[in-house]
Amino acid sequence: MAIVSRGFHGRPRAGGDRLPPGQYLVDDFPVLSAGPTPRVPTDRWEFVIDTESGQTHRWSWQDLMALPSQTPTVDIHCVTRWSKLDTTWEGVSLDVLFEDVETAADYALVHSYGGYTTNLPLEELLDGKAWIAHRFDGEELAPVHGGPARLLVPHLYLWKSAKWVRGIRLLNEDWPGFWETAGYHNFGDPWLEQRYEDD
Amino acid sequence: MTRPPRRPTWRAARLTGVRPETGSARTLRFEVPGWPGHLAGQHVDVRVTAEDGYSAQRSYSLAAPADGDAIELTVEAVPDGEVSPYLTEVIEAGDEVEIRGPVGGWFVWRPESTAPVLLVGGGAGIVPLMAMIRARRLAGSRVPFRLLYSLRDPGSRYYADELRRPDPGLDVAYLYSRSTPEGWPRLAGRIMLDDLAEGGWPADFEPDCYVCGPTGFVERAADLLLALGHAPGRVRTERFGPTGG
Ligand SMILES: Cc1cc2nc3c(=O)[nH]c(=O)nc-3n(C[C@H](O)[C@H](O)[C@H](O)COP(=O)(O)OP(=O)(O)OC[C@H]3O[C@@H](n4cnc5c(N)ncnc54)[C@H](O)[C@@H]3O)c2cc1C
């Protein structure tokens, strides 16, 4: 039984069963990143997938815009405890980007402009679970939220949804990313409250 | 980067003392049996639980270096907030919360570090920076520190007496965003390039920069530091919240 804090009542409860344990709802969109916000002009932007056998697949901004996009509406959960329901995005499903990629790798290391990295099993990026998102709430994705494009993997804590995404390296072995090396959980499932290394 | 201590569990924490900082912020001292120690810049998660079992958790920066089992937090009341008004207005000495931490291995200053340091704080963002100033003093470090502290108005200054006392090697400059003390040379306004150019270190000194505060403040100050030529890898940021001064 948790310790009761005398005199604490809390807000009327909201969110219901869409709120993972330990999270609270926000209406705005807080920002969490470890450093300054990189500015990446779209004429110099590219996205790459490097496979474990050394093949590289590249997309320019125009290439990305020419691909079929989807408009997922998803709930997002940040490890700093806020959750935001029904966020609307537009982006290209990673299934589309991986169509011509030949790989037997199990792991993906996502890297960003600015040097950020995050790791996840490749299967968490496929089968309709992840996008390269370039619009949020009907507008171009703002730089503070990861624009021009960010990864969106809403079923994991939001630090896995790398902002300013630049590419994915496919690896046979798991390689911890930035926060994963700094004590955060390797997988980051909000429903299992996998916040920190030993959770 | 070294690894922070492995993730500890929730610990019971008893409030042992309170110091007002401003009309809307106060420093809380908790006794946390078994506290493992921490680095300046790290934060904790605080969990408060109501009688009916409902609980809420928020992050708060550690305001001072570890002192045995005692830790200090400084909390600003966010209007209509769920947790901060409880911590600033309701909780009394003897009451208990739960605390887990320390958290964060990136936004930290280590006493063995030799690079000059620039601290840029907005509002409650001063809290982890104050922990760094105190850790420097405690360690007898000679590393030069500069603090640029942006405040809404003269009444919202935390740690006022302590920052007024001379601390060799630490320069403190104040910026006011809404209203200044009488006769203050700088007009009230948001942080600008000149503030950082004059009050900071030249980029070729390669200082470690720590920027903390409300998101808008951090975005702006970090962008300005890059514009002054500081390397992105030397600008560490901690964003406290979505809005505010
Ligand atoms: C790493 C980290 C360290 C932090 N350290 C400190 C600290 O040392 N001292 C401190 O006072 N706070 C600190 N915070 C902020 C703190 O965690 C809470 O967000 C804050 O106390 C508000 O919580 P609440 O429950 O009162 O408000 P909520 O009920 O969460 O929010 C109420 C309303 O206020 C808005 N809001 C939420 N947070 C803020 C904010 N920080 N500023 C302005 N508006 C906000 C919300 O969007 C909402 O509209 C830190 C946050 C992080 C992520």
Q: Domain boundaries in chain B? A: 10-103, 117-239
Which of the four pLDDT bands, split at 50, 70 and 90, describes residue A1?
low
| pLDDT greater than 70 at residue A116 | yes
CB of B83 sitting under 6 A from ligand 1: yes
Is the residue at A140 inside a domain? Answer: yes
What confidence score (pLDDT) does residue B100 get? 93
What ipTM describes this predicted complex? 0.76
Q: Residue B49 is nearest to which of A8, A11, A34, comparing CB atoms? A: A8
Q: Residue A3 is nearest to which of B86, B96, B232, comparing CB atoms? A: B96
H or E segment and range at residue B128: helix B126-139
**How does pLDDT run across B3-31, given as a tens digit for each residue?**
444 556 899 999 999 999 999 999 999 99
A197 contacts chain B (CB < 8 A): yes
H or E segment and range at residue B197: helix B193-199
Mean pLDDT calculated for residue range B74-99: 95
Q: Which residue minimizes the CA distance to atom 1 of ligand 1?
A: B59
Structural domains in chain A (count): 1
Mean pLDDT calculated for residue range A77-88: 92
- Taking a C-beta distance cutoff of 8 angstroms, is the pair B242, A31 a contact? yes
What confidence score (pLDDT) does residue B1 get? 36
Classify B10-103 by CATH class: mainly beta
Q: Which residue minimizes the CA distance to atom 39 of ligand 1?
A: B241
In angstroms, the CA B82 to CA B208 distance is 35
- To probe the interface with B, which of A3, A78, A181 has the most B CB atoms within 10 Å? A3
Tokens, residue B124: 């409650």
Omega of the bond leading into B185 within 30 degrees of 0 (cis):
no
Its domain, for residue A81, covers 22-28+47-192
Interface A–B counts its CB contacts (< 8 A) at 121
| Average pLDDT along chain B | 92
Range scoring the smallest mean pLDDT among A23-27, A137-141, B136-140: A23-27
Q: Is the dihedral of CA B76, B79, B83, B86 positive or negative?
A: positive
Is the residue at A73 inside a domain? Answer: yes
- 3-state SS class at B19: strand
**How does pLDDT run across A9-55, given as a tens digit for each residue?**
887 666 678 889 888 888 888 887 788 889 999 999 999 999 999 99
Per-residue H/E/C for A17-60: HHCCCCCEECCCCCCCCCCCCCCCCHHHCEEEEECCCCCEEEEE
What confidence score (pLDDT) does residue B2 get? 40
Tokens 């934060």 correspond to: B43
Mean pLDDT calculated for residue range B207-229: 95
Is the residue at A40 inside a domain? Answer: no
Which of the four pLDDT bands, split at 50, 70 and 90, describes residue B51?
confident
What confidence score (pLDDT) does residue B104 get? 85
Nearest CA in chain B to A9: B50
**How does pLDDT run across A161-185, given as a tens digit for each residue?**
999 999 999 999 999 999 998 889 9
What confidence score (pLDDT) does residue B77 get? 95
Pairing type for strands B235-239 and B145-151 reads: unpaired
In angstroms, the CA A97 to CA A94 distance is 5
What confidence score (pLDDT) does residue B52 get? 82
User: In CATH terms, are B10-103 and B117-239 the same topology?
Assistant: no
Cα torsion at B60, B64, B67, B72 (round to 10°)? Answer: -40
Q: Which residues contact A196 (CB under 8 A, 6 or more apart)?
A: A183, A184, A185, B7, B103
What confidence score (pLDDT) does residue A45 get? 97
CB of B244 sitting under 6 A from ligand 1: yes
Phi, psi of A50 (to 5 degrees): -105, 125
A26 contacts chain B (CB < 8 A): yes
Which of the four pLDDT bands, split at 50, 70 and 90, describes residue B70?
very high
Q: Measured in angstroms, how far is the CA atom of residue A80 from the centroid of ligand 1? A: 10
What confidence score (pLDDT) does residue A31 get? 83
In angstroms, the CA B43 to CA B101 distance is 7
CATH number of B117-239: 3.40.50.80
Percent over 70 (pLDDT), chain B: 95
Residues of chain A found within 8 Å of residue B222, distances taken between Cβ atoms: 35-37
Mean pLDDT calculated for residue range B116-124: 97
Is the residue at A8 inside a domain? Answer: no
pTM > 0.90: yes or no: no
Is the residue at A35 inside a domain? Answer: no
Tokens 């200044």 correspond to: B180
Range scoring the smallest mean pLDDT among A83-92, B58-67, B124-133, B234-243: B234-243
What confidence score (pLDDT) does residue A33 get? 79
Cα torsion at B32, A157, A18, A136 (round to 10°)? Answer: 130
CATH number at residue A68: 3.90.420.10
Q: Residue A35 is nearest to which of B1, B3, B237, comparing CB atoms? A: B237
What confidence score (pLDDT) does residue B3 get? 42
